[in-house]
Amino acid sequence: MMFKTIWFRLMHRYSGVSKQRSVVRLSSSAAEGAVAPPADCSVTAEQAVRLWARHFTLHGISEPLLSSQYIISHVLGEKTLERVSRKRLRDTLTDREIERVWKLCSKRLTRMPVQYVIEEWDFRDLTLKMKRPVFIPRPETEELVSLVLEDLQLIQGESHRTDLRGLEVGCGSGAISLSLLRSIPQLRVFALDQSQTAVCLTTENANRLGLQDRLDVHHLDVIKDADAILSKCDLVDFIVSNPPYLLSQDMKTLQTEIFRFEDHAALDGGLDGLSVIRSILGLGSKLLKKRGRIYLEVAPCHPPVIQQLIEDMMPGLLYLETHCDLTNRPRFCILQKKGEND
Ligand SMILES: C[S@@+](CC[C@H](N)C(=O)[O-])C[C@H]1O[C@@H](n2cnc3c(N)ncnc32)[C@H](O)[C@@H]1O
């Protein structure tokens, strides 16, 4: 590849950085992500954090300081900078470390989300491998998992069940299924996703966490493959999903990081944001055991629409509750398959 080299005189801005050559070398296009480390430059971790935070700011990268901190602590083998010793922060980085910092920060310069840059992210108590373009799990989904766990524990307490079966539609990196499996030893999950990359990533994460024996992962599309799902999956106690729920018209308002790097099929829920949700509800009527539940993460506009949909078109289901997220927006729906006396 041919790069026109531009020299940014940056290092002089940072006091204490000894500089045989005070530059960060950039390719002609930051989008190509080719930033070479400065030759013969000695820089401590602390200085590198400040340098890259400033450089990210200059290039309009969101969360510049956090991005720099995450990447540099990752290179130093820790999750956060707070976990790196003071001494290590003040030591000069080795040539290899500088090379890695510059390589990873160059990726961030292309607006690649930091989670894809460092190829891992924490979700609840799990560290998951991340791979572009599989959806990066969000904090609200941790709330969905807590809601499901609290609800299942209540039901378990009443019924003393020794086995539980769940279905996750759209498993992505496996965040939801793997968190539930980690917390409930008697649970087995059938997880599916329309993306082969997501299926492989969930499988890889399950293997890393030693949860693969209770998880079946399938490359299936809930809209197109309903018959295959019904034939492969046993009746379940619950269905959980953080489906694509954005309205198609809102896709263009997404942050560049998301729009350019994450799978649009993970986000775009069609004209009304309900295309996948409708199929999940249809599946629920057939696959849930009596009184089995559906837990959905949705857009704030969706709960009343889903409630109406259930009342008008799905006589086998009951709309139980809407839950708000930590910012008090209605984001989670709980539905139930009717029992004999409902
Ligand atoms: C918002 S992401 C959620 C991923 C993961 N569950 C999480 O919370 O991090 C939605 C997921 O649904 C998958 N998906 C989208 N449409 C689907 C469909 N028709 N059938 C199955 N999976 C689908 C996407 O590939 C994506 O992995």
Does 126 reside within a domain?
no
Instruction: Using alpha carbons, select from 338, 281, 337 the residue that is nearest to residue 306.
Output: 281
Are 30 and 162 found together in one domain? Answer: no
Instruction: Look at strands 164-169 and 187-193 and give their pairing.
Output: parallel
Are 78 and 214 found together in one domain? Answer: no
Does 218 reside within a domain?
yes
Q: Determine the residue of 121, 190, 195 to mutate for testing ligand 1's pocket, defined as the one with the most ligand atoms within 8 A of the Cβ atom.
A: 195
Total tally of structural domains belonging to the chain:
2
pLDDT of residue 13: 24
Does 318 reside within a domain?
yes
pTM of the model: 0.90
Are 164 and 290 found together in one domain? Answer: yes
- Could you give the 3-state DSSP secondary structure of residue 326? coil
Single residue among 118, 149, 184 that ends a domain in this structure: 118
d(CA 140, CA 136): 12
Instruction: Using alpha carbons, select from 223, 233, 156, 152 the residue that is nearest to residue 190.
Output: 233
Residue in 242, 244, 303, 332 annotated catalytic: 242
Are 167 and 288 found together in one domain? Answer: yes
Please report, in tens digits, the pLDDT of each residue of the chain (342 residues total): 222 222 122 222 222 233 333 335 444 444 444 567 766 678 999 999 999 999 999 999 999 999 999 999 999 999 999 999 999 999 999 999 999 999 999 999 999 999 999 999 999 999 999 999 999 999 999 999 999 999 998 877 777 677 899 999 999 999 999 999 999 999 999 999 999 999 999 999 999 999 999 999 999 999 999 999 999 999 999 999 999 999 999 999 999 999 999 999 999 999 999 999 999 999 999 999 999 999 999 999 999 999 999 999 999 999 999 999 999 999 999 999 998 777
Does 123 reside within a domain?
no
Are 195 and 111 found together in one domain? Answer: no
- Which atom of ligand 1 is found nearest the CA of 177? 6
pLDDT of residue 16: 28
d(CA 221, CA 224): 5
Q: What percentage of the chain carries pLDDT values higher than 90?
A: 83
Ligand 1 center–CA 132 separation, angstroms:
14
Does 74 reside within a domain?
yes
Single residue among 89, 118, 147 that ends a domain in this structure: 118
Ligand 1 center–CA 172 separation, angstroms:
6
Does 178 reside within a domain?
yes
Residue ranges lining ligand 1, Cβ < 6 Å = 135, 137, 141, 169-173, 175-176, 192-195, 198, 221-223, 242-244, 263, 265-266, 276
CATH number, domain with residue 201 = 3.40.50.150
Q: Determine the residue of 142, 167, 193, 296 to mutate for testing ligand 1's pocket, defined as the one with the most ligand atoms within 8 A of the Cβ atom.
A: 193
Are 219 and 79 found together in one domain? Answer: no
- Which atom of ligand 1 is found nearest the CA of 223? 19
**Residue 274 half-sphere exposure, CB side, CA atoms within 13 Å?**
15
Are 107 and 141 found together in one domain? Answer: no
Ligand 1 center–CA 126 separation, angstroms:
19
Are 144 and 95 found together in one domain? Answer: no
d(CA 265, CA 123): 21
Are 322 and 173 found together in one domain? Answer: yes
Name residue, tokens 């560049």: 256
Ligand 1 center–CA 173 separation, angstroms:
9
Q: Which residues contact residue 140 at a Cβ distance below 8 angstroms, ignoring those fewer than 6 apart?
A: 297, 325, 326, 331
d(CA 205, CA 201): 6
Are 101 and 182 found together in one domain? Answer: no
- Could you give the 3-state DSSP secondary structure of residue 205? helix
113 and 261 Cβ atoms separated by less than 8 Å: yes
Residue in 37, 113, 137, 243 annotated catalytic: 243
Q: Which domain holds residue 49?
A: 6-118
Active site residue 261: no
How buried is residue 16: exposed, middle or buried, by Cβ count under 10 Å (0-12/13-18/19+)? exposed
d(CA 15, CA 221): 55
Active site residue 243: yes
Q: Which residues contact residue 341 at a Cβ distance below 8 angstroms, ignoring those fewer than 6 apart?
A: none
Task: Point out which residues pair with 334 in neighbouring strands.
Answer: 295, 321
Does 125 reside within a domain?
no
- Could you give the 3-state DSSP secondary structure of residue 72? helix
- Which atom of ligand 1 is found nearest the CA of 193? 22
Are 137 and 227 found together in one domain? Answer: yes
Does 128 reside within a domain?
no
Single residue among 118, 152, 171 that ends a domain in this structure: 118
pLDDT of residue 19: 34
Are 272 and 176 found together in one domain? Answer: yes
Ligand 1 center–CA 289 separation, angstroms:
23
